[in-house]
Amino acid sequence: MPLLPRRGVRCQPLSAITPWMCSRRYSIWFLLILLVVCAAIQTFVAHLARNEKLNGLPYLSQEISTLPNALVGINHKSSLALQEESRSKHMERTADLHHQYKRISSDGSLKGSVAEMRSLAASLQAETKNGLTDQMHLPKLDIKGSLSLLLLRHNERREPHESNKEQTFKTYPASAILKTTSNNVYTKESCQPKSHIVFLKTHKTASSSILNILYRYGESRNLSFALPLNKHSQLFYPFFFASHFVEGVSSRRVSEFHIMCNHMRFSKSEVAKVMPTDSFYFSILRNPVAMMESIFNYYKSIPAFQKAHSLDNFLDNSWKMYNTSLTNNHYAHNILAFDFGFDNNVTARTDDFEERTNMAIAGIEQDFDLILISEYFDESMILLKHALCWSLEDIVSFRLNSRSEHQRRNISPDTAEKVKQWNVLDWKIYLHFNKTFWHQVNSLVGIEHLKKELSQLRALRAKLANTCLKDGHAVDPSEVKDTRLKPFQYGAAVIQGYNLNPDLNGQSKLICQRLITPELQYTDLLYTKQFPEKVAKQRQATKMVASQHQRLKKTSMMKKLYKREANQRHIRNDPNIF
C-alpha cells in the first residue's frame, strides 16, 4: 500500500496519452523490449570498434576505390585485344581482392592476411601502371604507322601533349609564317637534333639549296660555320682541303665549329681536325648524265669545253680536248669522284678500274653517314630531316642557283650512253648510292610515311612561295629588282632569282629574305656576323685604297690600276676559279 500513493504520484502528472504504461503488465513488456534493443546496439558498436582496430583496412578500401580509376585508365588503351586481356585480368584480380576483403570483414581475426592483401593491392597497382606505360610506348613502336593515328593517340594524353608542345617550342623557335600543324611528334621524343654537320657540297647537284638550308638553320641558332679564310666563297677548291683554309682555325678565334658546308675537295683527315668527332657527314649525288649536260653549259669556258660546239662533239673527241694538266678541266671528267677526293682520270679501260671503283665506294661509305640523290630532292630532304632529327620547317627551301627551264636540253639515249662511258666512275658511284638511298628511306622513314611527309613538305613550300615571293616563282636575273638578291651569273647559264613580296615586314620579311638569299651573299653575311672585327679592318683597308685612288685619279697610272683591280675582282667573285 505505501507504494501505491508513490506510484500514484508518479503517474498522476503524466499526460493522457500514457496512462496505459502505468499498468504493471505493459511495463514489463516495455522494459523487456528496451533491454533487447540496448543489447543489440551494444553488440553492434563493439563489433565496429573491433574492426577499426585492424590497421590497414582504410588503406585497403582506398586501394579498392582506385581500381575503377585504374580500369578507366586501361580503357584508353588503343589496342583492343590488349585492353580486353588486361581488363579481364584486372577484373579477376579485383574480384579476388574483394573476396578476401569480405573474409576479413566477417572474421576479425584474419590479421595476417592484411599483409598479403597489401602486396596483392600493390601488385595490382603496379600492373595498372605498367599498362599505362605500355600505352605510352605505343607511339614509339608505331614510327612507320599512320601519323594521324599517332596524333590522335597523342591528343588523348593531355599532359604529355602539353609538355611536348613546350619542348617543341623550345627546340624550334617557331615563327609566324613557318608554323605548320605538323608533325614528327615521335621524332622529338626519341632523338636529339644534330648540330655538328659536314656537308660536302658537290657541283650542279642542287647543293646550293641545301647550303641555304644549313645557313638558315645555323644562323637562327647562332651556330658557328667553318667558313673559308679571308672571305673566299669556297674552301680553296679544287685543292685538297686543309684545316687552315678555315677562318678562325689558325688564329684560334673560334673554339667550336658546328657546320662546314662550302665547296671543297674532300679530305677526311683534314676535315676531322676542324670538326667535332660526332659530326654528321653527308653529301648529294646527281645522275652523271644530267649532270654532264648541266656542267657542259655552266662551265663552257673551261679549256676542255672551249672548242667543243656541243656536248656530243666533246664526248666524241674527249681525249683530244681534255688535257688533265690544264686548270679547271677536272669539271669535265668524273667530277663527283674528284670532289670526294678520288682520282678522276679513270675510264673502264684503266687497268685497275674495278679496284678503284670499289675503293671509291667503300671510302665514301666509310666517311659519310648519308648520301642524298638530286633526282629525288624532296625525298632526300625528308630523309635528311629524319637523319638529323630536324623539323619540316628546317628542311624546306626554294630552288637556288638553278637554270631557267628553257635552257635545259634533252639528252638523247645515244649521248647518255657516251656520258656513262666517259664518266664511268661517277656512274658506278651513282648507281651504288641510288640503291643505298632507297634502303635508307625504307629503314628510316618508310614509304607510306615518306608520301605523307612529301605532301606536307610541298604544301609548306607552296605556302611559303605564296607568302614570300612577289611572283610566286623564280624569275630571270634581269627581273630581280634587289641587287643583293641577284644570283651570281657564270658561263652560258642563266641563273634565276626571286623577288620578295613587297608587303612583308618584320620577322616574316627576314625569314623570306634568307630563303632567297643567293649563296655568295649569304656566305658574306655569315662571315661578317662571325668575324665583325676582321670585316671592319678589311673595310678600313679598302677605304684607304679608295682614297689613294682619289689622289691618283688624274695621273695616267689610274687607267692601268683600275683595269688590274677589275680583273682581280672578277677572279675573286668567280666561285669556280679560286
Ligand X SMILES: *[C@@H]1O[C@H](CO)[C@@H](O)[C@H](O)[C@H]1NC(C)=O
Kindly tell me which of 10 and 307 has the beta carbon lying closer to ligand X.
Answer: 307
Q: How far is the CB of 257 from ligand X (least distance, A)?
A: 17
Site mask for ligand X (CB under 6 A), range 392-431, x = bound: ---------------------------------------x
Burial class (CB in 10 A: 0-12, 13-18, 19+), 557: exposed
Residues 467-496 that bind ligand X (CB under 6 A): none
Q: How far is the CB of 529 from ligand X (least distance, A)?
A: 9
Detail the DSSP E strand segments found in 386-482: none
Give me the sign of the Cα torsion angle 336, 340, 341, 346. Answer: negative
Contact between 328 and ligand X by CB under 6 A: the answer reads: no
Q: How far is the CB of 345 from ligand X (least distance, A)?
A: 4
The CA distance from 331 to 329, in Å, is 5
Q: Are 238 and 330 in contact (CB under 8 A)?
A: yes
DSSP state, residue 244: G
Q: Phi, psi at residue 281, to the nearest 5°?
A: -100, 130
Burial class (CB in 10 A: 0-12, 13-18, 19+), 209: buried
Kindly tell me which of 224 and 434 has the beta carbon lying closer to ligand X.
Answer: 434
Kindly tell me which of 235 and 259 has the beta carbon lying closer to ligand X.
Answer: 259
Kindly tell me which of 127 and 219 has the beta carbon lying closer to ligand X.
Answer: 219
Given the rule CB under 6 A, which of 238-246, 319-327, 357-365, 481-489 is the region that contacts ligand X?
319-327
Contact between 62 and ligand X by CB under 6 A: the answer reads: no
Kindly tell me which of 431 and 494 has the beta carbon lying closer to ligand X.
Answer: 431
The CA distance from 302 to 331, in Å, is 8
Of 15, 155, 325, 550, which lies in the binding site for ligand X, with binding defined by CB under 6 A?
325
Q: Are 388 and 196 in contact (CB under 8 A)?
A: no
Of 186, 353, 377, 438, which lies in the binding site for ligand X, with binding defined by CB under 6 A?
438
Nearest CA among 199, 204, 205 for reference residue 235:
199
Q: How far is the CB of 237 from ligand X (least distance, A)?
A: 19
Place of cell 608505331: 142
Contact between 356 and ligand X by CB under 6 A: the answer reads: no
DSSP state, residue 176: G
Specify the 3-state DSSP secondary structure of 197. strand
State the Cα torsion 460-461-464-465 to the nearest 10°. -150
Residues binding ligand X: what is the number (CB under 6 A)?
Answer: 12
Contact between 507 and ligand X by CB under 6 A: the answer reads: no
Kindly tell me which of 175 and 540 has the beta carbon lying closer to ligand X.
Answer: 175
Kindly tell me which of 374 and 401 has the beta carbon lying closer to ligand X.
Answer: 374
- Kind and range of the H or E run holding 243: none
Site mask for ligand X (CB under 6 A), range 206-245, x = bound: ---------------xx-----------------------
Kindly tell me which of 91 and 326 has the beta carbon lying closer to ligand X.
Answer: 326
Q: How far is the CB of 423 from ligand X (least distance, A)?
A: 13
C-alpha cell at 169: 617550342
Q: How far is the CB of 194 from ligand X (least distance, A)?
A: 16
Q: Which strands form 259-260's sheet, in the order they lie side by side? A: 259-260, 197-200, 280-285, 370-373
Kindly tell me which of 350 and 528 has the beta carbon lying closer to ligand X.
Answer: 350
The CA distance from 334 to 81, in Å, is 58
Residue 522: how many CB atoms within 10 A of its CB? 20
Of 48, 115, 149, 326, which lies in the binding site for ligand X, with binding defined by CB under 6 A?
326
The CA distance from 251 to 530, in Å, is 14
Kindly tell me which of 126 and 359 has the beta carbon lying closer to ligand X.
Answer: 359
Contact between 125 and ligand X by CB under 6 A: the answer reads: no
Q: How far is the CB of 326 from ligand X (least distance, A)?
A: 5
Of 324, 455, 466, 547, which lies in the binding site for ligand X, with binding defined by CB under 6 A?
324
C-alpha cell at 15: 499526460
Kindly tell me which of 271 and 321 has the beta carbon lying closer to ligand X.
Answer: 321
Q: Are 195 and 214 in contact (CB under 8 A)?
A: no
The CA distance from 504 to 509, in Å, is 5
Q: Are 467 and 177 in contact (CB under 8 A)?
A: yes
Give me the sign of the Cα torsion angle 464, 468, 470, 476. Answer: negative
Which residues partner with 368 through β-bridges?
A: none
Contact between 345 and ligand X by CB under 6 A: the answer reads: yes
Given the rule CB under 6 A, which of 59-67, 323-331, 529-537, 556-564 is the region that contacts ligand X?
323-331
Contact between 443 and ligand X by CB under 6 A: the answer reads: no
Kindly tell me which of 221 and 300 has the beta carbon lying closer to ligand X.
Answer: 221
Site mask for ligand X (CB under 6 A), range 280-299, x = bound: -------x------------
Q: How far is the CB of 283 from ligand X (least distance, A)?
A: 17
Given the rule CB under 6 A, which of 15-23, 243-251, 320-328, 528-536 is the region that contacts ligand X?
320-328
The CA distance from 354 to 357, in Å, is 5
Q: How far is the CB of 251 from ligand X (least distance, A)?
A: 21
First and final C-alpha spacing in the chain: 143
Specify the 3-state DSSP secondary structure of 251. coil
Kindly tell me which of 344 and 576 has the beta carbon lying closer to ligand X.
Answer: 344
Residues in the site for ligand X, rule: CB under 6 A? 221-222, 287, 323-326, 345, 350, 431, 434, 438
